[in-house]
Each structure stands twice: as C-alpha cells, then as structure tokens.
Structure 1
C-alpha cells in the first residue's frame, strides 16, 4: 500500500474506531484492510490516547462554561415557546382516532375523516422485519470483500443461499451503509484507438507488465503480472524488489512446467522486456515478443485491465510489512481470483469455458 494517508488522518481513523465504529465497517468505508488498522493502532495508539485526553478536557471546560453562562436562559426560552406537537404521523393519528371514539362517541369512519387518515392505515398491523439474517450475511460478505459492490455481493449470495432478489440486496446493501466510494480516474484526452483482437485459442497470446508498490518501511517492490489474453486468467504473479531479464526467463520456464508456452507474448518497451536476455530466451523457445507502441497502453488493454483490478482489490487493500507477507497475500489473492473466475465460467455457457478446460492441454503452433 502506498502512503495514501497522513499521520493526522490515521489518528482520526483510530478515534473513529475508539468511538464505537466497528473495525470492519471502518476499513470498508475508508478502503484499507483490518491488518493495516491494527498496525496503525500499535504504532500510533499511545499518541492517540494522550491527544484525546487533552482534547476531551478542553471540551469539558468549554461546555461547562457555556452551561454556566447561557444554559439557564436557553432552557427558559425553550419552555416559554413550547407548543403542543402536531398530529402528523400515522401512529399519532391512530391515537387521536381512539381518543375521539372514546370521548365523543363518534363512528370510526367519521373519526378517520376528521383526522385525514384512511381506514386501511388505521387497521394496519406492522410486520416484523425478516431481513435481519440476510442483512447480517450481506454485511459479513462486504467485510470480507471490501471492494465488492451490491451486484457482486448478490452473485456470492446466489452461490451460497440460493435465489435472492437483486433489488432486495440493493435496498439492504445501501440501508446498511456499505456503498463503496469510487476512486476517480484521471481523465485522458480523446485519442485514436487501435482495435485489440481477441485470440481464438487459450495459450496463444499472453500479456506481461509490471506493477509497483511499497512496503511499510518504504522499500519498493515490483509485481510481474502474466495474463492469458483469451481466458483472462492470471498465469503467474512474481513479486520481488528487482526483476531482471534473466529472472523473466526463469519465471516463464517455471510456468512452462505446468502449461505450454504461448505463441506470442505482448509487452511494452520496458528495459526488462527489451533486454538481450529475454530476447535470447524467446528465440530459443520459439515465442514471439509483440511490442506495443510507446505511449499506447490501450494496445495492451488486457493486462492494463488486470493491473487496475489487482491494485484496487489487493495492493490498495493491504499494508505489507515484509516481502514474504507481500508474496503470500498476493498469491492468495491470485488463487482466489482464479478459483472464483473458474466457478463463474463453469456456470455460464461461453467460449472461455472451453478454453479453461483445454488451457493446459492445447499446444499452439509456433510461428
């Protein structure tokens, strides 16, 4: 996680948690994991307690002074201007109808006409709320998937609880205050877009790109993402402080032990991808390196889309203390995403379903 919050903001988050806000709800509201919260609490906990005590003492002195000077006057003015409450709510009108019927001996219809209330509203009996279990389940899933909206929460409910109306999930989701704050993207001017063709076979074309992040101590780490363009499957994610061209070749050879290498790999003009080591590796394996034009990330849209989801759901959600923790959490996220996508494609009759079944057995022709 990059340093997106200042020390003052972190102290404010801890104050909200101390005031009674659940940690899961606070993490989902502000977009960080519970592990990050407890690390901040261990680091800034003492500072928060001392400042809170001083602030509370000042507030008590201020409130006592205001109560001493103007409290009596305010209570006297409010008592003088006190009026009888208006009968506007349905429950107040029902009570007024009961008083009219008892004291004035009027009919029910006549009392309803005087109080402007229908007989159906008068005889209405409130039903108990049967959404408590579903709301609790939605809140639990939202705490586990902090960047999931109500549509993706609805998909998880369909898998676990059977049929649930999406409009009901929408109503309970927003009533519980679980809406996710959208992260605004930088607006880019209109440019000419080149078409990006979708491969017809799995393991025919892969895409590679790097994503950068920082550890808690400020050290930079690099994540090498490899994605199959046809199935959108995350083939591998290599995490380290530095990844050279030789390391790229070793990572791809490790992947080749589990599945065939593709015919082409789409990359940008990074120094690792244009190195002689990777070029020699590609020539020796019969793999073509397809380079995008400089400044044209849309020509490698599949990996760019994956990078955005990877940063939003994993990197921005965790504060990594060590390189080992970063590798463990990132690999767990990759395995969970692959499992979730495979289960989704098995329920849908679409071309990628066959691709997933034949991804490890199909050997593409060499160019």
Structure 2
C-alpha cells in the first residue's frame, strides 16, 4: 500500500488483471460480424446506424476502433480519369473507306453466359464491314479483325472509337500508328454517335 502511495497508483489499478482487446470488445466484434454477413458492402456509418437501431449504445469511437481493427475499412470507389484528349467534331465523310467506326455491344445467352460483339462500319456508306462475336475480345483479337479488314478493303485514314480498355491500350495505339491510321476518340458524353451512323 505504501509503495502504491509513493508511486501515486491506486491498489485497485495495481491488482487489476489486464484484459485483452478482443475479449473486451467481443460483443462489438460479434455485432459487427453479424451485420457484415448480411451485407458486406456496408460502410462504417451504415453499420453504426444499424447498431443504434438494434439498441446497442456503444460509443462511435469504440465502434470505429473495432471496425478498423477488424479490417473492414474499404477503399473508396473513384472514377477512373481518362487522359485529356482534344475534342473532335462529329463530322461524317463522304468517300468510302476514309473513316471506320468501332464499337462493342454485349448481351446474355439463355444460360446466363455473357458475350460481346465487335461492330465495324464504314461511316460514309454505312456498310457493316465486320461483326466479331466472342465471350472475350482483347486487343490482340481486335487487331486481327482489323488486319483482316485492311487486307480486304485497304487501310482507312482514321478509325473513330470510344474510350474502352481494348481501344486505348498501348498495343492497339502502336498498331494503328504503324499502319498510319489516325485514331479519333468520340467526345465525352456522346456514346450514341456510333448508332446514329447506322
């Protein structure tokens, strides 16, 4: 007792058994696990509001500490920012084989399997040059289709397309540069351009 007085420490604190964090917060952990199993995409504030509605009056700092220790913090979804590209007018050419338009479409089979179609048209006469169908159409397959069309019709002066991942890849842009084909990206917010040329 005298040693505790000299150290300025109470005897109750000296003899108190230390409790591990997961034992102390077992109730909070179980409650958060129950909420997360219902919907794993809920954030902290939604989980905290659900706990309050269930009658759990824990401090928000304690709940957030346990929430973070459990590793439930999820990174925020942010939109992928595209490279700044100069706006180009949506003009149509009159001579055939000057500019091709490229676009992807997708649909689902009866069995639930998804597939995509790559559509290539000539902007001048609106001729469908190719419709490639597959469950996956990466950049290499896109280049093969266009190379086949170039062997048949000749290389166009330009290709108009949107900002899809296959169309902005380094492999595709280098291939277009090697064939001296200009790439014209559609203006942001103009996805209906391809269908207006049909």
TM-score range, shorter chain: 0.5 to 0.7
Match of 2:156 in 1: 262
**How far has the Cα of 1:297 moved from its partner?**
2.0
Compare the two structures and name the one with the higher strand fraction: 2
Aligned to 2:107, the other structure's residue is in SS state strand
Determine if the alignment matches structure 1 residue 250 to structure 2 residue 116.
Answer: no
Q: For 2:108, which of 214, 224, 245 is the aligned residue?
A: 214
Q: Measure, in 2, the Cα distance between the counterparts of 1:306 and 1:205.
A: 12
Q: For 2:97, which of 187, 192, 203 is the aligned residue?
A: 203
Deviations along 1:110-152, one digit per CA (max 9) or x if unpaired, are xxxxxxxxxxxxxxxxxxxxxxxxxxxxxxxxxxxxxxxxxxx
Determine if the alignment matches structure 1 residue 305 to structure 2 residue 158.
Answer: no
**How far has the Cα of 1:305 moved from its partner?**
3.4
- Could you state the TM-score of these two structures normalised by the residue count of structure 2? 0.53
State how 1:129-140 maps to structure 2 within 5 Å: none
- For structure 1, the residue ranges without an aligned partner over 5 or more in a row are 1-193, 308-367
**How far has the Cα of 1:258 moved from its partner?**
1.1
Deviations along 1:208-248, one digit per CA (max 9) or x if unpaired, are 00010111211100000001000000010000001111111
Aligned to 1:297, the other structure's residue is in SS state coil
Compare the two structures and name the one with the higher helix fraction: 1
State how 1:133-282 maps to structure 2 within 5 Å: 196-282=90-176
Aligned to 2:100, the other structure's residue is in SS state strand
- Could you state the TM-score of these two structures normalised by the residue count of structure 1? 0.29
Q: Measure, in 2, the Cα distance between the counterparts of 1:275 and 1:238.
A: 19
Match of 1:145 in 2: none
Aligned to 2:140, the other structure's residue is in SS state helix
**How far has the Cα of 1:195 moved from its partner?**
5.9
Match of 1:31 in 2: none
Q: Measure, in 1, the Cα distance between the counterparts of 2:136 and 2:114.
A: 9
Runs of 4 or more, structure 1, over 3 Å off, are none
Deviations along 1:310-366, one digit per CA (max 9) or x if unpaired, are xxxxxxxxxxxxxxxxxxxxxxxxxxxxxxxxxxxxxxxxxxxxxxxxxxxxxxxxx
Q: Measure, in 1, the Cα distance between the counterparts of 2:156 and 2:134.
A: 24
- For structure 2, the residue ranges without an aligned partner over 5 or more in a row are 1-87
Deviations along 1:163-222, one digit per CA (max 9) or x if unpaired, are xxxxxxxxxxxxxxxxxxxxxxxxxxxxxxx96322121100110000101112111000
Aligned to 2:101, the other structure's residue is in SS state strand
